[in-house]
Amino acid sequence: MEQNFFPEHKYITRAYIFIIFMMTLTGFGQMPIFKRYYIADIPGLGWLAEFYLTHYIHYIGAILLFAIFAYCTAGYFLVGRHTFRLTGPAYVRIILLSAITLTGIFRVLKNLPDMVFSPNFTMFIDISHMVFVMIFLLAAAVFLFMKTGWLMPK
Ligand code: HEM
């Protein structure tokens, strides 16, 4: 298990992985693929075809992700950075998660009734959220395979 300065990092890691899993599932739930490919017909998975349900779970997941980001960032700058430094893969994850979050925020703004973006900007935001998600998931799989964590003792 990766060395860490958070006594409770085991629970934070599990919560983070669960939230990323749910964000991916509900994110793809925003597109009608689960119904189209009969995945939502599997008993217990019908909710994946409920647009508004997956939509609101995606929003709640985003809020929980912000909370984990804020907690870990504060913990690292207040405590961790004295004994640990971030690994290269950690910077890659941070950059990709920041890009996903920024494009996600713009997608939320786009959904607000009186917020109007140009068609090109809307398409750019939609596609870039998706592209950053795919790069992030690929990178996460590679780092998991290489067993590279976020922190390295100084
Ligand atoms: C790692 C975290 C995340 C993953 C894996 C993820 C994944 C996705 C995916 C696959 C889609 C569907 C893309 C499409 O319709 O083209 C989506 C849509 C969306 N995501 Fe995310 N997302 C993440 C984080 C966020 C965050 C942090 C926010 C908000 C701040 C956000 C807000 C949205 C919104 C508003 C939509 C569009 C929903 C609609 O169709 O109106 N996402 N996300």
Q: Which of 21, 54, 107 to mutate to test the pocket of ligand 1 (most atoms within 8 A of CB)?
A: 107
Q: Is the CB of 58 inside a 6 Å radius of any atom of ligand 1?
A: yes
Domain contains 125:
yes
- If asked whether residues 45 and 114 sit together in one domain, one would say no
The reply to whether the predicted model has a pTM over 0.85 is yes
- If asked whether residues 71 and 102 sit together in one domain, one would say no
Confidence of residue 59 (pLDDT cuts 50, 70, 90): very high
- If asked whether residues 70 and 97 sit together in one domain, one would say no
The rounded distance, in Å, linking the Cα atoms of 90 and 113 is 37
Mean pLDDT of all residues in 19-44: 91
Length of the chain measured in residues: 154
- If asked whether residues 108 and 50 sit together in one domain, one would say no
Judged by average pLDDT, the poorest of 1-10, 104-113, 129-138 is 1-10
Domain that holds residue 127: 86-149
- If asked whether residues 78 and 132 sit together in one domain, one would say no
**Per-residue pLDDT, 80:** 87
- Residue pair 55/27 in contact (Cβ under 8 Å)? The answer is no
Mean pLDDT value across the chain: 92
Task: Return the SS3 of 7.
Answer: coil
pLDDT digits (tens, 9 = 90+) for 62-97: 999 999 999 999 999 988 888 999 999 999 999 999
Which strand (E) or helix (H) includes residue 44? Answer: none
Domain contains 154:
no
**Per-residue pLDDT, 3:** 61
- If asked whether residues 71 and 140 sit together in one domain, one would say no
Tell whether the model's pLDDT for residue 1 goes beyond 60: no
**Among 31, 47, 82, which residue terminates a domain?**
82
- If asked whether residues 96 and 68 sit together in one domain, one would say no
Tell whether the model's pLDDT for residue 122 goes beyond 90: yes
Confidence of residue 37 (pLDDT cuts 50, 70, 90): confident
**Among 60, 82, 104, which residue terminates a domain?**
82
End-to-end CA distance of the chain: 17
Tell whether the model's pLDDT for residue 107 goes beyond 90: yes
- If asked whether residues 48 and 95 sit together in one domain, one would say no
**Among 82, 102, 124, which residue terminates a domain?**
82
- If asked whether residues 35 and 59 sit together in one domain, one would say yes
Q: Whose CA is nearest to atom 20 of ligand 1?
A: 104
Domains of the chain: total: 2
